[in-house]
Amino acid sequence: MRFVKTIALVISLCLSLPQFSYAQEKPLSRKKQQKELRKKKEEQIEKKKKAEEQLKKRHLSIQDKATKKRMKRAKKKSDRLNKRKRRKHN
């Protein structure tokens, strides 16, 4: 009887040891946390830019030929007129 209790105790300790080891993970340092946070933000920004570009392409693909041409001319004109303003700010 005593032998069975000892074996049961040993088995229960062996099964519970992995749980204790998981609970004692070291927390990340502040620098690593900031680095991960910065990386996540950059990934989100990249995702947003990519989605925006895809939406622009889709919007352009929906337009007919005359509208595309008109949009292209308006963009060129805008670039030409705003060229000086961009230089001053950069």
DSSP label at residue 73: H
Q: What pLDDT band is residue 90 in, cutting at 50, 70 and 90? A: very low
C-beta separation of 50 from 58 below 8 A: no
Write a three-state SS string for 28-48.
Answer: CCHHHHHHHHHHHHHHHHHHH
For the chain, domain boundaries: 64-90
Return the CA Rg of the chain. Answer: 31
Q: What pLDDT band is residue 16 in, cutting at 50, 70 and 90? A: low
Which pTM value belongs to this model?
Answer: 0.50
Task: Tell me the pLDDT tens digit for each residue of 26-79.
Answer: 777 888 889 999 999 999 999 999 999 999 999 999 999 999 999 999 999 999
